[in-house]
Amino acid sequence: MPLTYALLVLAAPASGHASLTAARFARALLARGHSLQRVFFLDDGTLTGLASAVAPQDEQAPLQQWVSLAEAQQTELVLCISSALKRGLLDSAEASRHERPAATVHPAFELGGLGLLVESAQTADRLVTFG
């Protein structure tokens, strides 16, 4: 039976393998015919959306893994807004509101409140944490 999944990512992209594991899990569930409603990034997980991250050439870049999921599968990628702002992750609206020089969030991600995570808990069949 196809299930609706949502993921919660707490791990920072450059700390260990959890972020890459989450992206692989996302691909695997889609490949099996399930649907992925939303990926919610919270706490250090919000660093995943940092547009300026540069991975070493011989390593997989978590940012690219997530961006390609968003582009190919229309997966919604949401950064918790309060976790994100603390860590300097701003879209253009927040950058101008807080008078910061530039937006830092990759356009494949959006900022949103914890209510979206709570909503996912109600609407998804499975909500899986990676942290």
Site string for other proteins, 31-70 (x = CB under 8 A): -----------xxx--------------------------
Among positions 7, 77, 111, 127, the unique one binding other proteins when judged by CB under 8 A:
127
Q: Which residue, 46 or 67, is less far from other proteins as judged by CB?
A: 46
Burial of 96 (C-beta count, 10 Å sphere; 0-12/13-18/19+): exposed
Q: Please report, for residues 36, 40, 42, 91, 122, the alpha-carbon distance to residue 127 in angstroms, rounded to integers and kept in the order given.
A: 10, 10, 14, 26, 9
Both tokens assigned to 56:
């070493």
Query: Judged by CB under 8 A, how many residues of this single chain contact other proteins?
Result: 20
Residue 65 Cβ vs other proteins, minimum distance, rounded to whole Å: 22
Question: Which residues are known to be catalytic?
Answer: 80
